[in-house]
Structures are given as C-alpha cells and as structure tokens.
Structure 1
Amino acid sequence: MDLGQVEAAASTESPSDGLRMVLALHRLADRLEDLHVARAREQGMSWADIAVELQVTRQTVHKKHSRPRGRRRWSNDADV
C-alpha cells in the first residue's frame, strides 16, 4: 500500500472502501511487526527489550511472537 492509497482511503466517502483499507493496514502492520520482532530476536534482543519498543508488556509480545504463527501471516492479503 502506497501513500496515495492511504490518502485515498482517508478521503473516501464509501464506508466499505474505507474499512477494507483499514483491514489492509492492520494486516500490513502485523506483517511488519512479525518481521521486525523476528529480526530483533535473531539479533539477541530480549522479549523485555522488544516489549519496551512496542509499548506492550513482555508477556504480550512473548505470547504473540514466541511460536510460529502459520503461513497465512505471510500471505499477500495486505497488498490491496
């Protein structure tokens, strides 16, 4: 999703179009979080350090990212 698509989603009059864009942004954010948490762990960051950066508890980030999430997390669903 590029900046033009984000601007279009913000100005659309159609609730359906806007909500689809919100969903795409959520999915993209989840993919980015998965990628960067995995990278942080590979580079030795602790769950506590990652939690501080994401402004969540250590337990929250550990529960969400400590086990494989399955293939659907890496699908192209967010590429609207």
Structure 2
Amino acid sequence: MTDVNDLAAAASGADVRTGLRAALALRRLAETLEALQVGNARRQDWSWQEIADALEVTKQAVHKKYANRQEG
C-alpha cells in the first residue's frame, strides 16, 4: 500500500488490521508533510503564530513540536 488513494480506501474498509495499518501510514505521511511545510514557512520568515493559525493549533504547541528541528 503506497498510493494515497489506496491507503484512504483501506483505512475506511472493513478489514480492521489493514485499516489500522493504512491509518498509521496516512498519519506518518501527514506528519512528514506538516514538518516539511513548517520548515518552508520558517525559511520564508513566517512567525510561529502564523504557522499555528494555519495549522489551527496554539503557537506554543507548534513551537514545542518544531523549534528544535529547524536547520540553521
């Protein structure tokens, strides 16, 4: 299962084991994409508050999660 459409279908299917594995894969993909875009935003001088607003979380939450991942 590598295609996003296949993962989405599997995640909503009746096979629980396959659905849970697909949900895990989608969660990992979402986390990877979020980290990539937070990095892009910071490189474009977005504030932590702007990023938090876009992600609909608090500034403190996004800063705590990503501040140490920033490349100098």
Per the normalisation by structure 1, the TM-score is: 0.77
Aligned residues: percent identity?
44
> Could you say which structure has the greater relative contact order, defined with CA pairs below 8 angstroms and 6 or more residues apart?
1
Give the number of the structure whose residues are more often helix, by fraction: 2
Report if aligned partners of 2:12, 2:19 keep a CA contact under 8 Å in 1. yes
Give distance in 2, aligned partners of 1:8 and 1:15: 9
Per the normalisation by structure 2, the TM-score is: 0.85
Contiguous gaps of at least 5 residues in structure 1 = 70-80
Contiguous gaps of at least 5 residues in structure 2 = none
RMSD: 1.5
Runs of 4+ in 1 over 3 A off after TM superposition: none
* Paired residue total: 68
